[in-house]
Structure 1
Amino acid sequence: MAIPRSALAHSAPDGRAARHLMRTGAYNGHTAGMAPGHVQANLAILPRAQADDFLRFCQRNPKPCPLLAVTEPGDPLLPTLGEGLDLRSDLPRYRIWRDGVLVDEIDDITALWRGDLVGFAIGCSFSFEEALLEAGVPLRHVAEGRNVAMYRTNVPTAAAGVFHGPLVVSMRPMKAADAIRAVQVTSRFPQVHGAPVHIGDPTLIGIADLARPDFGDALAVAGDELPVFWACGVTPQAVVMAARPAFCITHAPGCMLVTDLLNHRIASF
């Protein structure tokens, strides 16, 4: 039986406890605010034949795809990110893609794992949210227990091999003074997307309607607030849709890999 979200903070105080909930099927929801203090990561898994191209794609697009770790082909473990961490079972939900089309969403990929797969752990903005809250910047989606809003933009990524596509951004509504503070705080965390890529008019980056996010939950922007946009680790999913690799596995938006790394240890200053 799934654990109610209200009990989650107490039942998963750290990365290892959070992953235990996922591995045992006790929780399959979004991970915003889970295991306070611990780095969270996006996930992309590709066959070895496409892995080199994707690695170069991440290197050319460090804002949306800041790499935290890469597995060896066929190895589902990432010990540098967590004791016993297993990519096959330790996320709440996974998305399965074939020829660029989403075909399934499941909570365990053990049956799909094969010897040529390479896993990429990519920094997640959930990690810098703790620093924002500590700095007194309110985050509505965290307060409401909802997923962050995410949008495809008209901003192209830098292509690498077969991989190309639009930048995806996450949005947090903020008052102007909080937005300024957010730039200062998140600039310290380049491994988890760093500073915002856009503030203000969403149409300038190709977003027609903030009330209709492509991923996550819609968040209202009040009259005295600005929408603040960060590069998002869901970008690889938009890239998969554009590049159409034969097979790919990603995290479901908002359903991250919770690691043993500590957020304060990845700050650049």
Structure 2
Amino acid sequence: MLELRGITKRFGTRQVLDDVSFTVQPGKLTGFVGGNGAGKTTTMRIALGLLSSDGGTVEFDGRPITAGDRRLFGYMPEERGLYPKMRVREQLVYLARLRGFSTADAGANADALLESLGLTERANDNVEALSLGNQQRAQIAAALVHDPRILILDEPFSGLDPLAVDVVVGVLKERADSGIPVLFSSHQLDIVERLCDDLVIIAGGAIRAAGPREELRRQHGTTRYELISAGDLGWLRAEPGVTVTQFDGGYALFEVDDETSAQRILQRAVEGGAVSAFSPIKPRLAEIFREVVR
């Protein structure tokens, strides 16, 4: 488990992080989202020891983190950091060897990752000869080749087409399922919403929301409901405390002032015909993001 507590950071007179605190749980995919300049990369670099903080602590498995702990981390920076004129497989083996792996084990890890990320046919190509999407896959392989105990990935889906995103998602889920904590940042909120277990939203260097995805959706949910009935729902427009936002005969999407109104609507709908659906509408991540950062 990785835990950040009260992290602060200034660059000159500018406060870039203010009391940043959150936890990355074992076996969980934690999405770290925020606009440009929100503080995501600075936070990650402090967790990795690449930057020092002005205050606060970073803990790993319940104790202050050490340089030895950080050697067990897998990190993918947003900027590409591989040697462009080195062959892909050769580079992965080299990176694993730097972490103490034997040549045979490093090669086995490299081959397994190349296969799972769809890069086997490009294993002997120089990195600079790869497409940007394949360079991104190679960068992810580099973060994984030494079997890290925690993953920190900065924009891992940047430049990937939808099929490549699915491949990378599968690899990251496999790592999380094995018990590894995974922290990743992304501007692609639809991917974050689909992939992550936990969410951390940062804006202006401060955490605006953090917790399990579904819990945040409940906390920030509105009183919107979807209703599908065999009967005509035209009467909804005249109901007090109800605002209909979408309507098509037996289908309606509406907002209510309170839960009592919602139950009243359901009862009347049942009296008017068979109800096949009546459910609250949970907000999308993009809606939660806009709400907490404004």
- TM-score band (shorter)? under 0.3
Structure whose CA Rg is larger = 2
The TM-score normalised by the length of structure 2 is 0.25
Higher relative contact order (CA 8 A, sep 6+): 1
- Per residue, is there more helix in 1 or in 2? 2
